[in-house]
Amino acid sequence: MSAKPVLWITRKLSDATLERAGKNYDVIVDLNDGLHSSQEIVAMSSKVDAILPCHSEIFSESVAEQLDQRVKIIANHSVGVDHCNLDALQKRGIVVTNTPDVLSDATAEIAMLLMLGAARRAVEGDRLVRTGQWDFWSPSFMVGKQLTGHRLAIVGMGRVGQVMAKRARGFDMEIHYYNRSRLEPTLEQGAIYHETIDDLLPVADFLSLHCPATPQTTGFMNSERFGQLPDGAVLVNTARGALVDEAALLDALKSGKLYAAGLDCFANEPGGNPAFADYENVFMLPHIGSATGQTRDAMGFRALDNLDAFFAGETPQDML
């Protein structure tokens, strides 16, 4: 009987994922769930046939060039692959996959939470009750911004963006979107297409980002683009922190151009940007858009599906 492929799972995944992985692979996993440096990734590559990493492991051009030839596939436990230099990995003949589809609902739920929390002053309200300072009420107390009837602009109308639009329709929001290509009418569901981001921003009472971080999108929400938004707009980002120029975002909050922001991702992760903590109109979460038990199982299983296909001599469904 042939030996099982050796699989390095870089982080502690769901119990169901680890149990399934152990049936078909000789698994190496750090149950302490620590981060791994570039040097550790390179050193481990000589011991394994496959790597199942998360977004926290960086496969830069330098790392890709140093990986041992034993590694044949990197099956990411994420949709985004901006932590992987795909060109460098492909030059080495290493297959790269991701986990699309399975986290769309969970991420859209977090986007709705952030949008509601930012618009309805959740940070400030929670602090008042939690610290015992809620000793007053009047019709002018804690007045926020209502979603109903306002325009939601979505940048990136892929799987998550489409679910976000569906959820927002339940709040009677008018949906506008920018995407690299226009959706079919059955997918648009009445959403209004804009051919450019610059055309979209002036109608964005609420702006929700759902596009990948690429050289073209990195820092695209800069001072100029914040200036194109309506006064009192709300920004929501559950995609990638790299999409937003955080200094420009802070300026937009200071000036009052933005009413509020809801952020699940940051330029620096883990940790975020401590400057945002001074603003009670910034509702923040620690990049937990896909963090439900159901979704974590689905992500792990999707990554294993890709690995199983590869080692069976088939093309993984999510090969990039």
**Catalytic sites, residue numbers:** 240, 269, 287
CA atoms within 13 A on the CB side of 86: 11
Residue in the block written with tokens 């690299």: 180
Question: What is the Cα–Cα distance from 203 to 230, expressed in whole angstroms?
Answer: 7
Residue type, 44: M
- Asked if 54 and 33 touch (Cβ cutoff 8 Å), the reply is no
**How many Å separate Cα 267 from the centre of its chain?**
12
Strands (E), the chain: 6-9, 26-29, 50-52, 73-75, 95-97, 151-155, 174-178, 192-194, 206-209, 233-237, 258-263, 282-284
Q: Residues with Cβ < 8 Å from 130, sequence gap 6 or more?
A: none
Alpha-carbon gap, residue 51 to 42, rounded angstroms: 11
